[in-house]
Structure 1
Amino acid sequence: MKFKKLLISAALLTSSVTALSVTPMPANAATTKAASVTIKNTPLTKDGYLVKVTNNISGKVYVGATNYKKQLKSVTPLKHAKTISPKNLKKIKFRIEKVATMKGKAFGAPEYLVASKDKKYSAWTTQTGLEYFYMNTKSMQGVIKPLKRIAKRYSNKMDDSRAGNLKDSKNKKDLELAIKAAKKLKGNQRKFVLTSLNQLKKAGTINNEGTNLLLFGIQ
């Protein structure tokens, strides 16, 4: 009788071990729950058509005003929609139309909906897929080079709260050089660049969290 009880106990133990081995562990809620996406307007729209899409774009560039309208309410990639390579859009200016922020993800950089003036081309992408349209022009290098030095110091020491501080002596000097160069620009470009640099100066940091269009392509 005792032997029979031992056999039953062994069988139950084996059954329990088997059940434990095939039952999956509960997944982290962040990995199973769909990310909550909020799409909203952004002040960057007021800057106008001043960005270009780069080869680092995180999404696809869709062709057609109909596809643009579909993207106004969703960041989900479109199915069976016509696309075009960013390589063919180097001379096309885009405007930031909307910004999408994600919750429920371990990592989720803001995404921006950009569109050409005629709405023929549009795309959702993170900041890394965009840059200020005139960033690589000869006239802008006196502004861009100092800003890149500041951005490099920040990226090298992101764990140091002082790294992006524009009151730091080196950063302050480079910002002043950028402002000096910006004053040599003309027309609307001069106005836009100086306004952007003064915004940085007022904020006191280059860590702008995607709110300063001039830094798109630099950070």
Structure 2
Amino acid sequence: MKFQKLVTSALLVAGTASVLAVAPVSVNAATIPASAVKNKASLTKEGYVMRILNDKDATPIYVGKANYNKLFKNVTLAKGAKTISLKNVQKIKFRVEKVLDVKGRVAGAPAYLVASKDKKYSSWTTQSGLQYYYLNSKSMQGVTKPLKRIANRLNTSLKKANNKRDFNAAMKAAKKLRGSQRDFVLRSLNQLKKDGSMNVEGKNLLLFGL
């Protein structure tokens, strides 16, 4: 299950049981020390542009600002904490608040604390549980189709001719977008160009869900 993978991911990321210790009290959660958390300002600054995917194995969506504040310190909350069905938050935009990642980790994957603008809904999840809010919209088709072709190849380096061609097609389509969506997509594509490949984990929100 994704929830189990999230906790496992957090433990693997830490590389030691002492980093994410299980509290012996009723919270029974994996406590997050400051040393294990990276506040990646670049992701937070992108704003409320993410959706938590509606998946039967997804991590719980907690309700209430009090629970959000607790999630800032714990990967999971006490049993009985108020949650909401994923189908009820599909029209709500989320922002990355924190990233749980350990420098030099040898296994696992980053975990992300995401929350709605009013902090009413929040959750710790992995990249596989998130997606750019407009990724599947009609206006984005010209961008997502060529990006998906790149993502489905074994080698996603933009130095390869076919990948470079598809990247340029995505960039051309992105320039036709409008407003904040155009700004976000172009910024994300420029970051992809700088990285040179899609194999850069967890740094580009546009690529979440691809």
Larger Rg: 1
Give the corresponding residue for 1:62: 62
Distance 1:201 1:39, change over 3 A: same
Tell me which amino acid in the other structure corresponds to 1:50. Answer: V
2:188/2:206 contact within 8 Å kept: yes
Q: Counterpart in 1 of 2:38?
A: 40
Contact kept? 1:39, 1:73, Cα under 8 Å: no
Match of 1:4 in 2: none
More displaced 10-residue stretch of structure 1: 191-200 or 75-84: 75-84
Match of 1:195 among 187, 202, 206: 187
TM-score, length basis structure 2: 0.80
1:168 pairs with 2:168: no
**Is the contact between residue 36 and residue 104 of structure 1 (CA under 8 Å) also seen in structure 2?**
no
Distance change >3 Å, CA 87–CA 35, structure 1 → 2: farther
Instruction: Show the 5 A alignment for 1:61-140.
Output: 61-101=61-101, 107-140=107-140
Contact (CA 8 Å) 2:63, 2:82: kept in 1 or not? yes
| Cα distance in 2 between the residues matched to 1:126 and 1:112 | 6
Q: Which residue does the alignment assign to 2:30?
A: none
Counterpart-to-counterpart distance in 1, 2:150 and 2:106: 28
Aligned to 1:114, the other structure's residue is in SS state: strand
Tell me how many residue pairs correspond in the alignment.
180
Give the aligned partner of residue 23 of structure 1. none
Report deviation, 1:115: 0.2
The question of 1:214 aligning with 2:197 is answered: no
Structure 2: how far apart are the matches of 1:85 and 1:107? 31
Conserved 8 A contact 2:96-2:115: yes
Change in CA separation of 1:104 and 1:126 when aligned onto 2, cut-off 3 Å: same
TM superposition shift of 1:77: 3.8
Q: Contact 2:147 / 2:166 at 8 angstroms: preserved in 1?
A: yes
In the alignment, the residues of structure 1 paired with residue 120 and residue 70 of structure 2 have an alpha-carbon distance, to the nearest angstrom, of: 13
Task: Give the structure 2 partner of residue 5 of structure 1.
Answer: none
**CA distance in structure 2 between the partners assigned to 1:177 and 1:35 by the alignment:** 47
Checking the alignment, whether the CA contact within 8 Å between 1:146 and 1:175 is kept in structure 2 is yes
The match for 2:26 is none
TM-score calculated relative to the size of structure 1? 0.77
| Partner AA of 1:119 in structure 2 | K
1:205 correspondence with 2:204: no
SS in 1 for 2:143: helix
Alpha-carbon shift at residue 109 of structure 1 (Å) = 1.1
SS at match of 1:199: helix
Contact 2:64 2:120 in 1 (8 A): yes
Offset of 1:131 from its aligned partner?
0.2
What is the identity, as a one-letter code, of the residue corresponding to 1:34?
A
Farther-moved stretch of structure 1 (202-211 vs 111-120):
202-211
Extract unaligned runs of 5+ from structure 2.
Answer: 1-11, 21-35
> Taking structure 1 as reference, are residues 74 and 187 closer, same or farther at Cα in structure 2, changes over 3 Å only?
same
Contact in 1 for aligned 2:50/2:131 (Cα 8 Å)? yes
Share of identical aligned residues, percent?
60
